[in-house]
Structure 1
Amino acid sequence: MSADPDPAVHPLDHLPLRGAPEAPALILRNETLSFEALNDRVGRLAAWLARQVPEKGARVATWLAKTELACLMPLAAVRAGLVHVPVNPLLKRAQVAHILADSGARLMISNTARLDTLEPGDAGQAALCEEAGVREGLGGEADPLPPSKAAPDDLAAILYTSGSTGRPKGVVLSHANLWLGAVSVAHYLKVTPADRVLAVLPFAFDYGQNQLLSTWYAGGAVVPLDYLTPRDVVKAVARDGVTSIAAVPPLWLQLVEQDWPEDAARQLRRLTNSGGALTPSLVRALRATFPEARLYPMYGLTEAFRSAYLDPDLVDAHPTSIGRAIPFAEIMVVADGGAEAAPDEEGELVHAGPLVAQGYWQDAERTAERFRPAPAFSALGGMAVWSGDRVRRDAEGLLHFVGRRDAMIKTSGNRVSPQEVEEAAVATGLVAEAVALGLPDPHLGHAIHLVARPAVAPEKAKAELLPALTRALPNFMVPRHVHWRADMPVSPNGKLDRVALAAEIAGGGNA
């Protein structure tokens, strides 16, 4: 990569043109596609899509595992002049029906088993196509479409959030948003044509889709993987010569518990984390398990793709920091009065610059709430994403996550960060994973409930956790209730599912 990222914007489907024609671009279980072959198949799929949905700007949805077709669709849809709506394969019928209706999708591609779960009326105006039939039809495409001439502001995709705070809402992304996101990540991660990136995260997740785009921008190869167990990840790394993995904390916890062949563990050169903070104990475990890998903690939100990353050289000294702004992002900490926050003063993280999305699909009210003009002291100005996340910037310029404004627990007149309680629990060594929740209490306003998965013998963890937290935390931060779980629920994006846990405990779930 060059010393500075190239800010020039090209249509998204030009990405396969950047790699060496004969170099590997997509490593499937039974076939490896070169960049030349990838570009050809994108063109053939685009020609098929254009015939099915001739209306420019129409939405086409996919509800797929990480098949070849799922990998091609982000580029083929835009080459056909369409807008791609990837649906997380873990979502169920009601959520999928909402996404199809909300997006107004004209076409839906999935496999038979998923399509059979839909009921009459669920598809709305979308024609349903079985994935196998689409693949068979592509063989006869004699004239693949050439690379498009889309404008930077043309819409490229609508990514629906997981719906953790209500029904999924669609974040609208342009060619420029996705292209510059690929450039930025490829640059600061120092991705090269020699890299093989294991794509384990859902392509409907912004972080997951960028695994494809940033790797292809840099000329590297993507290895898509749908895994059933963490052991499947270990096998894929060894089998396909993987050098880079992107994951979220629940998966990292599972991976460091695996028995890794030494050669496979040492061939990894890059570990990237988002979707939740790494704890110091997990950082140490990752270092021990993957001694040759550089670790990149990152922070992002779908509305602006990604905001910050921590240089691997700073991780050991600042293990809880989310770092500094990524290329093309301006990150501000805005104090409650609207001024720029002073060093170590808590404020709201506000993101400006060309990575800011176009808003929420057909939702002017929620768009106006989150997408607002940048503060007066912004260097870039324009429209910004007001994240709702509380952060502080230390004297060295590093950002630290405090918590979400709407997730802060108010107990006995005090504001408590769930993350601080969770980190304290994990730091005891008795807990592998933890979620702190504030639930209504007639005396406290909200009482702190901690849901935890033990890292030691359950009886030992149950006996020693609260005394350890009492020694480590102020009294008002010590959980009033601890709920133990052998397994923690995760959302479709792989994050710990706070909403499900809160609903379960509020409904009387057992401790």
Structure 2
Amino acid sequence: MFTHAQNHAEKLHEFLLAGARLTPEKPAVMEFVDNEVGLLSYRQLERRTESYATVLGELGLDIGDRVLLETDTSPSAIAALLACSCLGLPFVPVSPETPTKRLLSIMESVSPSLYLRAVDSRREGVPEGMGTGRFGPEGLTVERAPAPRTPVRQESTAADPAYMVFTSGTTGRPKGVVMSHRAILSFYRGMLGHGIVAPESRVASTAPFQFDFSLLDIGLALGSGATVVPVPRALLRWPRRFVRFLRETGATQVNGAPSIWRGALRREAEELGALGDQIRGVLFSGEPFPLPEVRRLQELLPHARIVNCFGSTESVAASFTDVPRPVPHGLTQLPIGFAHRGAEMMLLDEENRAITEPGVVGHIHLRSSSLFTGYWGDPEATAKALVPDPLNPLTGQTVFRTGDLGHRGEGGELYFDGRADSQVKIRGNRVELTEVERRVAEFAGVTAASAVLLPVEGTDPVLAVFVTLADGAELDEVELGAFCMEELPDYMAPQQIHVLDEIPVNANGKVDRPALVERMSAQLRS
């Protein structure tokens, strides 16, 4: 049930800080300082937010000025984004793991007035021309004040941007998804209607701060009066440490991509099973969860409600569907179900006609008040994604053409059937293959590049790149990998490189990606 304060909230900070009025002494976020674990109450989170906002308010920034936040998820990171919300400053989250060249590309795109980072950040090479500062448990300090200006806005509104998340882009450059206060609050209200967590829950969040899934976790926990438990990123590489962390922090709900469970299921099953009475919920998103792994997770966590969260950054998510317990042995694919309250997923054919019969594949469109405003600085891409409502074009309403393919089941529920474009998901992160291809093609000697995601039974898919070389050129795979990592996040770095005489194309003259996948599959079979 929503609280009275949340129902009347119009801005992100008003919604997420409702607990400071209702349950001020209750833990809001778990904090880790110098290897010590502590709990920050809702009142303390509000006070930290207010102290940050006081410092930011003295800088003369205007409503709509962008603030870049480089940090992992933490109480201070949450306070920083809430302080930005208080002042009408859209925040742009980035990870400390973001390559510097990629960070500079984002900076060039959004022209932030202020760049804030955690006190322990070691980032170097930040350009001049913008304000800088650091934040942490002791407060927010400004290192270099932003250029003085005369504010022109008087009042922030619910329609103003709350934040901007950068994802992989089709042009080969990161693409900024702009979300308003009204849209993100609409999503939160629709999500909370599913009753996924309760006020006594402790929600373990594994997503990087720059990934919109982290904002989902924050909204799910704080919007429910529960506690956010940020999982240190380094622990995800060590299954035993990850499971031990869940036990020691008392996590009751664990959210993340399916891949976070793979190591524990294989190597720490006994330790994971010992948490069977503790963990009551698992929410996954970003990629399909292999059914054998889902079944095994259900065996080890017999009381956990497992929820399949489906959607895109452009609306954070579109649906929350309970995984049946037990998963029927005849089932070959988990459904993505129906849209959350206040939204509708429509299935349309190539002529934009509604598909209602089961089994027919079509394009998924989302009708929702939680849709993004547009892609930052890219009206052409925005117009391709936010299209006039195909079923009621005269209303002027726009819907989101997701780029996802799906079909209906016998009960009208939807199933996901892949992408209609070159977008894939890698460890829960959205990746445009064209961006990987652009970077590889910039390497000396490479004349063409095509990237594909190769399925591998029993483990994560492999990002492979096929290249052609100039006459006489030789390829050093180690050097190419290092070249890619200068600009691309680690999950976008090719894991396999294959040299071809020529890259196959289809009848339309486009790269034939299925043929590349089949070629590799045939080699593996032989």
Q: TM-score, length-normalised on structure 2?
A: 0.74
The reply on whether 1:500 has 2:506 as its aligned counterpart is no
- Give 1:240's aligned residue: 249
Tell me how large the CA RMSD over aligned residues is: 3.5
Partners of 1:340 and 1:377 within 8 A in 2: no
Q: Deviations over 1:385-444 (max 9, x none)?
A: 1111111112211211111112499xxxxxxxx99x84xx63xxxx33334879699xxx
1:434 is matched with which residue: 440, 461, 464?
461
Gaps of 5+ in 2: 143-153, 425-451, 469-484, 502-519
Q: Deviations over 1:467-510 (max 9, x none)?
A: xxxxxxxxxxxxxxxxxxxxxx9x9999x65x7347x3358999
2:294 is matched with which residue: 283, 287, 291?
283
Partners of 2:272 and 2:300 within 8 A in 1: no
- Give 2:471's aligned residue: none
> What number of residue pairs does the alignment pair up?
432
Amino acid in structure 2 at the alignment position of 1:24:
P
Shift of 1:163: 4.8
The reply on whether 1:46 has 2:73 as its aligned counterpart is no
- Give 2:512's aligned residue: none
Q: Deviations over 1:205-261 (max 9, x none)?
A: 111111112211110011112132233321221112111011112212123232425
- Give 2:66's aligned residue: 59
The reply on whether 1:231 has 2:240 as its aligned counterpart is yes
1:130 is matched with which residue: 123, 128, 134?
134
Q: Deviations over 1:173-216 (max 9, x none)?
A: 11112212222222214321111001111121111111112211
Amino acid in structure 2 at the alignment position of 1:434:
P
Amino acid in structure 2 at the alignment position of 1:34:
S
The reply on whether 1:266 has 2:269 as its aligned counterpart is no
Amino acid in structure 1 at the alignment position of 2:301:
F
Partners of 2:134 and 2:141 within 8 A in 1: no
- Give 2:24's aligned residue: 21
Distance in 1, matches of 2:220 and 2:394, equals 26
Shift of 1:152: 1.9
Partners of 2:276 and 2:300 within 8 A in 1: yes
Shift of 1:134: 7.2
Equivalent residues in 2 for 1:374-385, closer than 5 Å: 374-376=389-391, 382-385=397-400
Partners of 2:102 and 2:488 within 8 A in 1: no
Distance in 2, matches of 1:185 and 1:289, equals 26
Equivalent residues in 2 for 1:41-190, closer than 5 Å: 41-111=48-118, 114=121, 116-118=123-125, 122-123=126-127, 125-131=129-135, 135=139, 137=141, 150-163=156-169, 166-190=172-196
1:200 is matched with which residue: 206, 223, 243?
206
Q: TM-score, length-normalised on structure 1?
A: 0.76
Distance in 2, matches of 1:83 and 1:387, equals 24
Distance in 2, matches of 1:214 and 1:113, equals 27
* Gap change, CA 1:330 and 1:125, over 3 Å in 2: farther
* Gap change, CA 1:378 and 1:33, over 3 Å in 2: farther
With 192-201 and 107-116 compared, the bigger mean Cα shift is at 107-116
Partners of 1:100 and 1:126 within 8 A in 2: no
- Give 1:368's aligned residue: 383
Distance in 2, matches of 1:112 and 1:2, equals 35
Shift of 1:42: 1.0
Indicate the SS of the match to 1:26: strand
- Give 2:509's aligned residue: none
* Gap change, CA 1:48 and 1:505, over 3 Å in 2: farther
Shift of 1:10: 2.2
Partners of 1:249 and 1:276 within 8 A in 2: yes
Distance in 1, matches of 2:395 and 2:411, equals 22
2:356 is matched with which residue: 327, 333, 342?
342
Partners of 2:85 and 2:162 within 8 A in 1: yes
Distance in 1, matches of 2:367 and 2:396, equals 7
Partners of 1:88 and 1:492 within 8 A in 2: no
* Gap change, CA 1:42 and 1:111, over 3 Å in 2: closer
Indicate the SS of the match to 1:264: coil
With 153-162 and 104-113 compared, the bigger mean Cα shift is at 104-113
Amino acid in structure 1 at the alignment position of 2:498:
I
* Gap change, CA 1:435 and 1:401, over 3 Å in 2: farther
* Gap change, CA 1:240 and 1:88, over 3 Å in 2: same
Distance in 1, matches of 2:302 and 2:115, equals 44
Indicate the SS of the match to 1:160: strand
Gaps of 5+ in 1: 139-147, 410-417, 442-488
Distance in 2, matches of 1:107 and 1:260, equals 44
Distance in 2, matches of 1:63 and 1:71, equals 12
Shift of 1:265: 3.5
Q: Deviations over 1:47-90 (max 9, x none)?
A: 11122352221111111123332121221111022111111222
Distance in 2, matches of 1:244 and 1:64, equals 23
- Give 1:459's aligned residue: none
The reply on whether 1:358 has 2:352 as its aligned counterpart is no
Partners of 1:279 and 1:320 within 8 A in 2: no
- Give 2:265's aligned residue: 256
Shift of 1:93: 0.3
Q: Deviations over 1:312-345 (max 9, x none)?
A: 3477245422221112221111101110123221
Distance in 2, matches of 1:310 and 1:372, equals 26
